[in-house]
Amino acid sequence: MGKPAQISAETNWDAGTAVRDTALSRLVGYNLKRSFNNIYVDLAEALRPFGLRMITFTILTMLRENPGIRLSNLAAAIDMEKPNMVSVIDELSARGLVTRSADPLDKRARQLHLTADGLKLQHQAYAAACVHEEGCLQHLDEAERAQLIALLSKIRHGADKDSR
Amino acid sequence: MGKPAQISAETNWDAGTAVRDTALSRLVGYNLKRSFNNIYVDLAEALRPFGLRMITFTILTMLRENPGIRLSNLAAAIDMEKPNMVSVIDELSARGLVTRSADPLDKRARQLHLTADGLKLQHQAYAAACVHEEGCLQHLDEAERAQLIALLSKIRHGADKDSR
DNA sequence: TATTGTTATACTCTATAACTATA
DNA sequence: TATAGTTATAGAGTATAACAATA
């Protein structure tokens, strides 16, 4: 396709002229960014009543399933840099949702745990997140949702494998 | 040991203990964020040799298909705030990749165009982006990629409809 | 020497308010 | 009055270097 001197004829952009994005639409990366942003903004709104952001919600949920995990292990598990994790844990700790306790096996390490309040908030927020997902994905049926998650995690774990 | 096992038994987190994320894995939002980040970091690396980031690459590609488009229309098309668009156009303009010219129909507006250099760079960068996608998606066959894009744009356009 | 948690720092991305010149 | 482009600014999110205590 080396010929067409001009991609398209000159257009009047005065009114609501339709904008083309066929080239970008072919790229999975572009579609991922756009649809992620749509869901992300919406999820942030769903979590705001609980005083949570996506990252704090993620951490509370991870702590529920992995009580006592070390900060560095948790950071690695969700692809976050340790220094950034520290400040978020500071925030959750100051709110009384998470505790840092001594690790008997390694004096350098700290065990992270949910408090009773943290567990309660995680329950509520997770329920809200599920309701939110329902709203975002109402145009997808059960099979499509499962397919989407399967394809996305295939990308994730494929990339994991490659980097090692 | 010998304690009322809460969510899960107490674990020793000293070594490379496996971390669980079954609750988060069920959420499309979480999977989207993780897989987007994987692709994004990698794509950024593929574009770096051209001096481009994802946003500048996106704009060059949009200008190729929509020559003469106004700044605000372009910003709306890719869900970007106008003030942020201004500084990126400044950057591309300073590098001689994009021009701002007067719009004969509206003295407030500026028409955005690729320069010859901009068009050339877009070509090269788009080819690199396609090669990069090939690397990221090598674990997905043609049908799965098409399916993924279809599902993602279903989320995008479903959300568009809902917000109006 | 390597690793855990930490501090400090910087850069990108994103979001909002307000100004100007036109419409 | 509303809109296009712009300026200034602030907040998330992310990334790196370096340090003290411990392994």
In a domain, B24, yes or no: no
Q: Which regions of B3-147 does DSSP assign to beta strands (E)?
A: 98-102, 110-114
Tokens read off for A145: 């949702």
Residue-range definition of the domain harbouring residue A80: 29-162
Cα–Cα dist B8/A137, whole Å:
31
Chain B nearest CA to A148, separation (Å): 7
Q: Is A22 contained in some domain?
A: no
A109 CB-to-strand C distance under 7 Å: yes
**CATH code of the domain covering residue B129:** 1.10.10.10
Nucleotides of C under 7 A from a protein CB: 3-9, 12-18, 21-23
CA distance A63 to A80: 15
Q: What is the pLDDT of residues B102-151, one digit of tens each?
A: 999 999 999 999 999 999 999 999 999 999 998 888 889 999 999 999 99
Assess if residue B151 is contained within a domain. Answer: yes
pLDDT band at A10 (very low <50, low <70, confident <90, very high): low
With a CB cutoff of 8 Å and minimum separation 6, the contacts of B117 are: B96, B97
Contacts of A140 in chain B (CB under 8 A): 151, 154-155
Nucleotides of D under 7 A from a protein CB: 3-9, 12-18, 21-23
Nucleotide closest in space to A44 (CA vs C1')? D12
DSSP string, A19-54: PP-HHHHT-HHHHHHHHHHHHHHHHHHHHGGGT--H
Write out the two tokens for B109: 């507006």
pLDDT digit string, tens, across residues B70-93: 999 999 999 999 999 999 999 999
Closest by CA position to B137, among listed A20, A149, A39, A152:
A152
Claim: this prediction has a pTM higher than 0.95: no
Which A residues 52-81 touch B at CB under 8 Å?
Answer: 54, 58, 61-62, 64-70, 73-74, 77-79
In a domain, A17, yes or no: no
Whether B17 maps to a domain, the answer reads: no
Average pLDDT over every residue of A73-91: 97
**Helix, coil or strand: residue B93:** helix
pLDDT exceeds 60 at position A148: yes
DSSP state for residue B95 in the 8-state scheme: T
Residue of chain A whose alpha carbon sits nearest to that of B57: A24
In a domain, A103, yes or no: yes
Q: Residue A7 has what pLDDT?
A: 42
Mean pLDDT across chain B: 89
Residue A3's pLDDT is what?
A: 36
* Protein residue with the closest CA to the C1' atom of nucleotide C12: B53
Taking the C-alpha atoms of residue B145 and residue B134, their distance in angstroms, rounded to an integer, is 10
B99 strand-pairing partners: B113
* Within a domain: B141: yes
Instruction: Give Cβ neighbours of residue B88 (< 8 Å, ≥ 6 apart).
Output: B55, B56, B59
Can you give the distance from the CA of residue B95 to the C1' of nucleotide D3 in angstroms?
Answer: 29
pLDDT of B8 over the 80 cut: no
The answer to whether residue B62 sits within a structural domain is yes
| Percent of chain A residues topping a pLDDT of 70 | 88
CA distance A21 to A19: 7
Rounded to an integer, what is the distance from CA A40 to the centroid of its chain?
Answer: 7
The string of pLDDT tens digits covering residues A20-41 is 999 999 999 999 999 999 899 9
Mutate to test the interface with B, among A152, A154, A163, A164 (most CBs of B within 10 A): A152
Average pLDDT, chain A: 89
How many domains, chain A? 1
- Decide: CB of A127 under 7 A of nucleic strand C: no
Helices B142-162, A116-136: crossing angle, 10 deg rounding: 100
Q: Tell me, what's the pLDDT at B17?
A: 75
